[in-house]
Amino acid sequence: MTLPHDPHRQAALRRFSRRKLLGALGVAGAGVVLAACGDGTNEGVVSVDPADQANATDATETGVEQAQAQAELSVGLETEPLIWVEPREVLQGSSFLIAIDAPGAGFASVAFAGEVLSMRQEESRFFAVLGLDALTPVGPIPLIISVADGAGNPVVSRETLIDVQDSEWQTEVVELDDDNRALLDPNVIREDEETRGPFLRGQSAERFWTELFDLPVEGVITSGYGLLRSYNFRPPTEYHGGMDFAGASGDTIVAPAPGRVLWGGQTLRRGVGLLIDHGAGIVSGYYHMSDFAVQPGDFVQPGQFIGRVGATGLSTGPHLHWEIVVHGVTVNPVQWIRVSDFPDPAQDFEPINALPTPIRVQTQS
Ligand SMILES: [Zn+2]
């Protein structure tokens, strides 16, 4: 019988989470020491060495039970995993989905553009939504997917290329008065980024959205995402990171999808703003508002009143500037509204559209 505080079990759990971490870091072979840390109780120690492995099957009574418990964990995968990247055409400024069907898998991660993300698991489906900013260079970017079995052993690795296509952004001239022009100062931009930055990656691994988003206001779209902004006819120095809806001061803004309010506040650049975490890396932002009606920690439902249109911050008149951020990258909101055919992370995909068979990894067990 395994006691809740059995030290062998604790050690086994530590090994299990180390292997999970290995999966997150890509794929490591037997006995590879990725890092070392002097504190033996620290979960962050990620050395995997064969002696450590042998400890799992030591001959004490508890050790035998532990070995049996380990054997009950799924070792290897039940079937070859299928991996999809959808949509297959990926544009500058776009979001895209990595989906994996891998019965028996316990963990999956994706490495892309210098970052490693744990994929969200929903039954036997793993997924991650990734985003590209509007100025991502056109051309191929490598993407590496790693899958570990239920015992945490890395079993499959797949590398593919995301071939980023040109979105051919237009340039928009915006004429600013002196007050607004002062808000282009780098210190003002820094204040804005430092205030909102800590919240832009979201906090919830759980996915709250189950369908594409409603629009947050009724109003004509006056500027789309990605427009290169020329202020007062100077060469463009930045792109428009959201979608502008014309409105009157006081017009109602509603939550476009379920989520938890992360931040409500004000910056010189974006005025009164709000950030909502929709989970699994997706955050929406609302700016230049006159005020907001919800507080950080509140869970909002689609259609719920969250604030009012205003003209605070760098604004030439009352409007809502709406942003969608994917794991910290500001992307085109068009893919997130109901007119889009952006894939649902849980939907069925055709096996024929999956990436070619992944590489099997030689495991240490
Ligand atoms: Zn805007």
Q: Which two tokens stand for residue 64?
A: 């035998």
pLDDT at residue 232 in the model: 82
Give the position of tokens 């979105």: 167
What does the radius of gyration of the chain's CA atoms come to, in whole angstroms? Answer: 24
Residue 344 CA to ligand 1 centre (angstroms):
27
Cα 247 to middle of ligand 1, angstroms: 12
The per-residue pLDDT for 1 is 34
pLDDT of residue 174: 84
What's the CA-to-centroid distance between 56 and ligand 1, angstroms?
57
* Distance between Cα 239 and ligand 1 center (Å): 10
d(CA 175, CA 171) in angstroms, rounded, equals 13
Find the 97 Cα to ligand 1 centroid distance in Å.
Answer: 26
Task: Say what the pLDDT of residue 179 is.
Answer: 84
Q: In CATH, what is the architecture of 171-331?
A: Distorted Sandwich (2.70)
Taking the centre of ligand 1 as the mean of its atom positions, its distance from the CA of residue 94, in whole angstroms, is: 17
Tell me, what's the pLDDT at 173?
Answer: 87
Q: How far is the CA of 189 from the centre of ligand 1 (A)?
A: 15
pLDDT at 57: 36
Cis peptide bond upstream of 87, omega within 30: yes
Task: Count how many Cα atoms sit within 13 Å of the Cα of residue 93 in the half-sphere of its side chain.
Answer: 22
CATH 3.40.220.10 fits 82-167+345-360, yes or no: no
Cβ density class 205-215: b for 16+ within 10 Å, e for less? eebbbeebbeb
- Residue 58: its pLDDT value, please? 39
pLDDT tens digits for range 297-315:
999 999 999 999 999 998 8
So what's the pLDDT on residue 234? 83
Report how far ligand 1's centroid is from the alpha carbon of 326 (Å): 18
361 by Cβ neighbours in 10 Å (0-12 / 13-18 / 19+) ranks as middle
DSSP codes joined into one string, 127-191: EEEEE--TTPPSEEEEEEEEEEETTS-EEEEEEEEEEEEP--PPEEEE---HHHHGGGSHHHHHH
Task: State the residue for tokens 């067990």.
Answer: 365
Cα separation of 131 and 29, whole Å? Answer: 30
**How high is the pLDDT of residue 10?**
37
Q: Name the phi and psi angles at 221, rounded to 5.
A: -80, 120
What's the pLDDT at 361? 66
* HEC readout, 165-178: ECCCCCEEEECCCH
What pLDDT score does 363 carry? 53
C-alpha of residue 83 to centroid of ligand 1, in Å: 36
Cα of 132 vs centre of ligand 1, distance in Å, is 18
Query: Distance between CA atoms of 40 and 42, rounded to whole angstroms?
Result: 6
Ligand 1 centroid distance, CA of 271 (Å): 12
Spell out, as residue ranges, where the chain has pLDDT lower than 70: 1-75, 358-365
CA of 69 to the centre of ligand 1 (A): 56
Q: What ranges do the domains of the chain cover?
A: 7-72, 82-167+345-360, 171-331
Q: What is the DSSP secondary structure assignment for residue 47, as one 8-state letter?
A: B
CA of 323 to the centre of ligand 1 (A): 8
User: How far are the Cα atoms of 64, 69, 337 from residue 19, in angstroms, in the given order?
Assistant: 21, 16, 38
Please give the pLDDT value at position 30: 27
